[in-house]
Amino acid sequence: MRTLSRRSFLLATGMAPFAAPFTALAERLHMGLMPEDSFAYGPLRAVPDETTGLPLLQLPQGFRYRSISWQGDLMSNGQPTPPLHDGMAAFPGPNGTVVLVRNHEVTVPSGSFGEHVYDPRAAGGTTTIVFDPMTERPVSVTPSLSGTVKNCAGGPTPWGSWLSCEEGTANTSDDPRLAKQHGYIFEVPHDGVSSAQPLSAMGCFWHEAIAVDPATGIVYETEDRTQAGLYRFIPKTPGRLAEGGTLQMLAIARRPQFDTRRDQRPLATYDIEWVDIPEPDKPHVDPLAKDTHGVMQQGLDRGGAIFARLEGASFGQGRLYVTATSGGNASMGQVWELDPRAGTLRLVFESPGADVLNMPDNICLSPRGGLAICEDGTRVQRLQGLTRDGRIITLARNNILLNGQKHGFIGDFSNREWAGVTYSPDGKWLFANIQVPGVTFAITGPWSDGGL
């Protein structure tokens, strides 16, 4: 497996430095100064997909896109591409190509789709796309992990792999169609296939995303539950996660079981500490009660903090950013910033309503600074951006209808979830998924004009 340099990792994963992360942003958001900035790149308009010719997305003037991988398209092994495209990251590939490792959040057990299998009865996993920016087309799409369940998000590592996370702890007692325990993280090399071995020391729970501190090798993990925790995994050997390590949960100093979900003040900042999870591979407190909060409960018992549906995670310039999808008094989402060197947690943003930001999910720090955010909310879905100078901008929006014109999909395309936002190593292409029908888009345009 090729090891990426720190600079290559930052560029490949959209983690460029910025001097005073989002201070101006937080001030503007909490003052309600966002609507006039919503179209920093200009108003959106329907733009035809350069692959199908269909107007699937609305984009600003000067931007264009093409769909590069739909569910059902045949992969290099002759099998159909799995559905439910979700988390994703981009890596530098050979000869100027971009390698995308992509999750598939398939829940219903129906058999694995690849050759490197964890549970032969499970239908989730990852596929790897090699995209050529010169031809603007995929070179190949191949299975890279299969036999897993509900691979929702994950994150890239500095050593050139993708960590794919299962969002659920199902096993044979939950569903007799399954053969093994689920709820784990799996490592997928960007230039190969996964060994399909669970990293059990990183915890068995409802995983969502991860983000790695390249200076320490510590892996931060989010949990997508109504009552969720924020975790970190300290490996015995940085970059060698299979050798084990220590799983911990974030706690607010001197405030055990502090609830961050409601009644937070603007720019609220808290001192933090970490509490150990003694049994990270304990999926159930009481198997008969089917209590799937085994890891979470261990953290709570030691004073861990409570968040609302932690989903997106991204690390850059020494700080971790995570989204709480249903956090805040409006239940429309929060963005939290963790500074591990200072030992602090800060509320960067709390959405006052769906018009501003509608339940943030996957996120990615941009090569130009700022944050690209996928919405998974309550109305027409958007790909949003938060800029360094405190503006919220709309990068893309689902167009209204797609009536049976691709792979038999019939219905309203406008309310379908965005996922997997990531930038190419050179920052010229933004890749993102629509989950249903599963499709990956490659979007390009004058990104620097609007700060994202």
Give the tens place of pLDDT for each residue, 353-372.
998 899 999 999 988 888 99
pLDDT range class, residue 409, cuts 50, 70, 90: low
Cα separation, 391 vs 452, whole angstroms: 10
Token pair of 65 as six digits: 């896109």
Average pLDDT over residues 421-449: 95
Query: What does the pLDDT read at residue 290?
Result: 55
**Does 400 have pLDDT greater than 80?**
no
Q: Report pLDDT for 286.
A: 57
Q: Which two tokens stand for residue 316?
A: 């850059």
**What pTM did the predictor assign?**
0.92
Smallest Cα–Cα separation from 295: which of 166, 388, 115?
166
C-alpha distances in Å from residue 258, one per residue of 33, 214, 252, 301, 331: 30, 29, 6, 12, 18
Supply angle C-alpha 179, 221, 126, rounded to 5: 50
Tokens of 242: 């299979």
pLDDT tens-digit profile of 157-171?
Answer: 999 999 999 999 988
Q: What is the CA radius of gyration of the chain?
A: 20
pLDDT digits (tens, 9 = 90+) for 96-112: 999 999 999 998 777 78
Tell me the C-alpha distance between 218 and 163, whole Å: 13
For 249-278, what is the mean pLDDT? 97
Three-state DSSP class for residue 298: helix
- Determine the pLDDT at residue 10: 39
In a domain, 1, yes or no: no
**CB atoms closer than 10 angstroms to residue 177:** 15
Straight-line distance from the first to the last Cα atom of the chain, in angstroms, rounded to the nearest whole number: 31
- Residue 228 counted as domain residue: yes
Q: What is the pLDDT of residue 18?
A: 32
226 CB-contact burial (10 Å; exposed 0-12 / middle 13-18 / buried 19+): exposed
pLDDT value of position 408: 52
- Tally of domains within the chain: 1
Residue 173: the pLDDT is 82
Give the residue carrying structure tokens 């309550």.
378
Mean pLDDT (the chain) is 87
DSSP labels, 343-391: TEEEEEEE-SSTTT---EEEEEE-TTSSEEEEE-SSSS-EEEEE-TTS-
Mean pLDDT of 409-425: 82
DSSP class of residue 82 equals: P
In this prediction, residue 122 carries a pLDDT of 93
- Residue 331 clears pLDDT 50, i.e. is over it: yes
Q: What is the pLDDT of residue 359?
A: 95
Q: Is 216 left (phi over 0), alpha (psi -120 to 50) or beta?
A: alpha
Residue % of the chain over a pLDDT of 90:
70
Check which CATH number belongs to the domain holding 44 and give it. Answer: 2.120.10.30
Does residue 64 fall inside a structural domain?
Answer: yes
- Could you list the residue range(s) of the whole structural domain that residue 431 is in? 6-449
Residue 355 lies in a domain: yes
| Alpha carbon distance 67, 190 (integer Å) | 21
Strands (E), 48-110: 57-60, 64-70, 85-92, 98-104
Q: Which residue has the tokens 């003052």?
A: 31
Look at residue 35 in the predicted model and tell me its pLDDT.
Answer: 41
Predicted confidence band at 402 (pLDDT cuts at 50, 70, 90)?
A: low
Which one, of 103, 88, 98, lies nearest residue 146 by Cα? 103
pLDDT one-digit tens code per residue, 6-51: 444 433 333 333 334 455 555 554 444 444 446 678 899 999 999 9
In a domain, 166, yes or no: yes
Strands 418-423, 429-434: pairing is antiparallel
Q: What is the pLDDT, as a whole number, of residue 13? A: 39
